[in-house]
Amino acid sequence: MTATQAWLERLVAHPTVSSDTNLPLIDEVETALEEAGAVCERFYDSTGQKAALLARLGPDAPGGLMLSGHVDVVPVVGQDWTVPPFSLTRKNGRLFGRGTTDMKGFVASALALAEMIDVKSLAAPFWLAISYDEEIGCVGVRPMLEEIAARDILPDLIVVGEPTSMRLGLGHKGKMAFQVKTTGVPRHSAEAPLALNALHIASDFISGLRKLQDEIEARGPREPGYSVPYATVHVGRLTGGTAVNLVPDNAELLMECRMMAADDPLALAEQVRKAGVAAVAPHKERFREASIDIEITGNYPGHSIDGDHPVVQAFAACLPKGGKECHVSFGTEAGLFAQALDVPVVICGPGNMDQGHRPDEFIEESQLAICDTVLAEAVIRFCASRRPLASHVPKQMHGKM
């Protein structure tokens, strides 16, 4: 078992589902990093039961390399696992366990590398940013990121290690999540035409969203590299009513928008709001109670960076030859880092998201081996040189939302 695989075994053994504490894992990781010579700092959530961890090896100086990864995982309840989800299982060149791909494999590689480094050899800092609650909206990285920005910690490059099969990821979509509540007027279903069905208002709203989706597909910003190269509007849940013979006066739906980096989130939210106004307007004269309430419950920005950026090219030189650039449709913390720090950010990590979030999640041992090689080369390239790579790169070339 390699050092990375040994670390992965230790990380998987911690059931860090977002609803539970991650402190035992953070304790173990922080102890190991401090023994390796790192300076560590925790950033707790409001309950004190979760923490993000920022670690620095090498000098407290500008430039260098930052690796970002989250250690929370999605639940296993209701999934049909054939191996223990929180115990690493090796089988036919694959390592099974919750979080192996998303994304404890990358974190394990980074930790193994940190323990191998001769800190005195580093001319620029090597940073590890380990966060929590990414799976519920990139929550845990934000307090840590605010502090990083306040201290003007500006690495030459940030690598967010979400699974890309070790391909160079140049972007991801952003997301806005909405909770929508509709209010009608109740009555016995025998007199339904005299009432206002809240579910009907919700249905009309959904019809408006489908028209909005058609407009986005026809005229919205596009970016190549995605399976769906434009913004999407999606309703995932609709609830309302208590009995078939009662007209419901309340309904609720949960929806989201997935946006390109070039999209204006505020403009898209306004279009959603207008669809809500249009759904209620025909009923306001007859039913004063008719209403729709639309609340944004979570959001994170999209991200896009030019593959020809010189710092991105410097990292690309560490990757296996012949690999293709990619964009990922799922969300990551890359957009938040780029927005807050205005430094180049890429997405690159071992494994494929096709294996993430599923029963019998696994990662190929070969993917971890490639990751180990790439990260070691990146540390040499970005942290061992005494000439920070980004020192002469114009700020306007850095990746932005």
Q: Which residue, 270, 300, 330, sits at the end of a domain? A: 300
Does the annotation count 156 as an active-site position? no
The predicted structure's pLDDT at residue 322: 84
CA 228-231-237 angle, to 5 degrees, is: 95
Q: What gap in Å lies between CA 343 and CA 59, rounded to an integer?
A: 19
pLDDT tens, position by position, 255-309: 999 999 999 999 999 999 999 999 999 999 999 999 999 999 999 999 999 999 9
For residue 27, give the CATH number of its domain.
Answer: 3.40.630.10
| Per-residue pLDDT tens digits for 34-75 | 999 999 999 999 999 999 999 999 999 999 999 999 999 999
Query: For 53-96, where are the alpha helices, taking DSSP H only?
Result: none
Residues 243 and 340 in one domain: no
Tell me the CA distances in angstroms from 211 to 176, 200, 207, 232, 336, one per residue in order.
Answer: 18, 17, 7, 12, 30
Residue finishing a domain among 248, 273, 300? 300
In the set 9, 30, 133, 134, the catalytic residue is 134
Active site residue 60: no
Among positive and negative, which fits the CA dihedral 187, 192, 193, 199? positive
Identified catalytic residue from 30, 72, 162, 223: 72
User: Tens digits of per-residue pLDDT, 187-197?
Assistant: 999 999 999 99
At 265, which CATH number?
Answer: 3.30.70.360
Token look-up 């972007």 returns: 171
pLDDT tens track for 324-361: 999 998 999 999 999 999 999 999 999 999 999 999 99
Tokens 């001319």 — which residue?
Answer: 123
% residues pLDDT > 70 (the chain): 96
Give the pLDDT confidence score for residue 390 in this predicted structure. Answer: 40
Q: Do 124 and 104 share a structural domain?
A: yes
Looking at the structure, do residues 165 and 285 belong to the same domain, yes or no?
no
pLDDT, the chain, mean: 94
| Shared-domain flag, residues 235 and 96 | no
Summarize pLDDT for 134-166 with one digit per residue, the tens. Answer: 999 899 999 999 999 999 999 999 999 999 999
pLDDT for residue 397: 31
Question: Are 311 and 278 contained in the same domain?
Answer: no
Residues 162 and 258 in one domain: no
Beta carbons of 212 and 271 less than 8 angstroms apart: yes
Assess whether 181 and 256 both reside in one domain: yes
Task: Note whether 292 and 179 are same-domain residues.
Answer: yes
Averaged pLDDT for residues 109-118: 96
Closest to 305 (Cα-Cα) out of 161, 157, 166: 157
Of the candidates 23, 69, 168, 56, the one whose C-alpha atom is nearest the C-alpha of residue 122 is: 56
Question: Do 191 and 161 belong together in one domain?
Answer: no
- Both 344 and 276 in a single domain? no
Q: What is the tally of structural domains in the chain?
A: 2
Question: Does the reported pTM lie above 0.95?
Answer: no
Instruction: Return the ∠ at Cα 344 (arms to 342 and 345), rounded to 5°.
Output: 105
Last residue of a domain, one of 267, 300, 333: 300
CA atoms within 13 A on the CB side of 19: 4
**Is there a single domain that holds both residue 124 and residue 153?**
yes
Q: What pLDDT sits at residue 385?
A: 62
Residue holding tokens 């929180």? 86
Integer CA distances (angstroms), 87 to 3, 20, 100, 203, in order: 17, 17, 10, 45
Question: pLDDT value at position 191?
Answer: 97
Query: Which residues of 10-101 form beta strands (DSSP E)?
Result: 39-44, 51-57, 65-70, 89-91, 94-96
Q: Are residues 148 and 48 part of one domain? A: yes
Domain with 214 in it: 174-300
